[in-house]
Amino acid sequence: MGSSGRRIPFVYSDRLTGYDMGPQHPLKPVRLRMTFELLSEYGVFEHEAAVIVEPEPAAEEDVLQAHRPDYVDAVRPLGNDKTVPDARRYGFGPGDNPLFPGIFEASLLYTGASVTAAREVADGADIAFNISGGLHHALRDRASGFCIFNDPAIAVHSLLHKFKRIAYIDIDAHHGDGVQYAFHDRNDVLTISIHESGQSLFPGTGFAEDIGLGDGIGYSVNLPVAPFTGDEIWLRVFEEIVPPLVESYGPEVIVAQLGADGHFDDPLTHLNLTTAAWLEAVKTILGFGSPVVALGGGGYNLSSVTRMWTLAYATMLGVELSDQIPDRYAQQYGIRRLRDAISPVISASQQRYARDAADETIRTIRRLVFPIHGICP
């Protein structure tokens, strides 16, 4: 740590790649190591504020803040015995959430990495980044969408010991459903998710009219965008809604889910983002002036997710990286440029459809949510 005292931990261990759902599964744990290696090759960890922090496995009492005891009891033996009778009932099985050896320990480790990042921020770090976290689909009693424990929700719970008002901002291409449901009836956690519409993408939820329950009405904010939405329209939705809400709410801390699967190369979603717009949204989140617990999330194209998280951590440190990927890394992985040099082609009709859908989302949030926060629509 340097004389300025800024501390921006990167929570990482190669052991995090043990969360491995198998060679056919789209979630590739090697993306974590590839990001770590790219940051290392660029020399980013030599920056005075950069520090690599080893993750601790989550304590079960932390996990129980967001999950039912019977679910945790069901996950515990899964890695050892593939004939566990309850596995299917809890969302496990061939497909999205297959069993694998060490599943419980691996789940505790990525979850603990997010708790570690939260603790770093609670202890005074400006930002902490856990690229292995952001598994936002896990439900209270069910694995869902590659996610076993909901580490963002668990991190938020751990922050609630110290902070009274928390904003959760999720820029993954999928709706952050599990995190929203964990807090949708309370107003001390504002959740905002911008995502491809549930009409075309898993998990099929997160419509703009869905604004929370009871005391939490107005504190669950959903910004669906249409498939094929590109940089300009996506960023417009984000910038017209997120800054006014966050500035009015005044969170003491922000938890940011930085899923990278909105990239146009991503095989699982239909958004058309480049590194540029995505990084602009990250900069906006970092610029609110609150400390940030940053988490990873989706990202199924190894090149784009690796480049985007590298750009994000460099941005957190205030380091400008050259577009030229260091030689050794470029040769090993065939990735040559850090930022996208090309933009996807989006047809005029897709553009029109995306613009109309974006306008509708913005109108709905201004009508339903802004008045609750005293923001003039």
Q: Which is nearer to Zn ion, 67 or 174 (CB)?
A: 174
Looking at beta carbons only, is 212 or 259 nearer to Zn ion?
Answer: 259
Minimum CB–partner distance for residue 81 and Zn ion (Å): 30
- Sketch the per residue contact string, 115 through 154, with Zn ion: x for CB under 5 A, - otherwise: ----------------------------------------
The contact mask relative to Zn ion for 193-222 (x = CB under 5 A, - = no) is ------------------------------
In contact, 269 and 196? CB cutoff 8 Å: yes
Say if CB 200 and CB 227 are below 8 A apart: yes
Please choose, out of 221-229, 261-269, 323-331, 353-361, the segment that lies near Zn ion by the rule CB under 5 A.
261-269
Count of residues engaged in binding Zn ion, rule: CB under 5 A: 6
User: Which of these ranges, 30-38, 211-219, 257-265, 288-296, lies near Zn ion under the rule CB under 5 A?
Assistant: 257-265
Task: Tell me how far, at minimum, the Cβ of 316 lies from Zn ion, in Å.
Answer: 21
Examine the residue annotation and report whether 175 is marked as an active-site residue of this protein. Answer: no
Q: CB–CB of 303/267 below 8 Å? A: no
Place of tokens 């750009």: 311
Contacting residues for 334 by C-beta, under 8 A, at least 6 apart: none
Amino acid symbol at 171: I
Closer residue to Zn ion (CB): 8 or 225: 225
Q: How far is the CB of 51 from Zn ion (least distance, A)?
A: 28
Question: Whole-angstrom distance between the N-terminal and C-terminal Cα of the chain?
Answer: 44
Given the residues 47, 67, 136, 137, select the one marked as catalytic: 137
Residue 263 binds Zn ion, judged by CB under 5 A: no
In our burial notation (b when 16+ CB lie closer than 10 A, e otherwise), range 109-144 reads bbbbbbbbbbbbbbeebbbbbbbbbbbbbbbeebbb
Number of H helices, E strands in the chain: 11, 8
CB atoms within 10 A of CB 176: 32
Look up residue 330 and give its two tokens.
């470029």
Q: Nearer to Zn ion by C-beta: 87 or 153?
A: 153
Cβ proximity to Zn ion: between 57 and 299 the closer is 299
* Shortest distance, position 195 Cβ to Zn ion, whole Å: 8
Spatial distance between the Cα atoms of 256 and 191, rounded to a whole number of angstroms: 10
Task: Answer yes or no whether residue 259 interacts with Zn ion by CB under 5 A.
Answer: yes
Write down the least CB distance from residue 136 to Zn ion, Å. 8
Stretch that binds Zn ion, among 218-226, 235-243, 272-280, 298-306 (CB under 5 A): 298-306
Contact between 261 and Zn ion by CB under 5 A: the answer reads yes
Q: What separation in angstroms does the CA of 84 have from each of 93, 141, 145, 178, 241?
A: 10, 16, 20, 24, 45
**CB nearer to Zn ion: pick between 200 and 351:** 200
160-179: contacts with Zn ion (CB under 5 A): 172-174
Three-state DSSP class for residue 52: strand
- Residue nearest Zn ion, CB atom distance: 298
Contact between 233 and 358 under an 8 Å Cβ cutoff? The reply is yes
Catalytic residues: 137
Give residues in contact with Zn ion (CB under 5 A).
172-174, 259, 261, 298
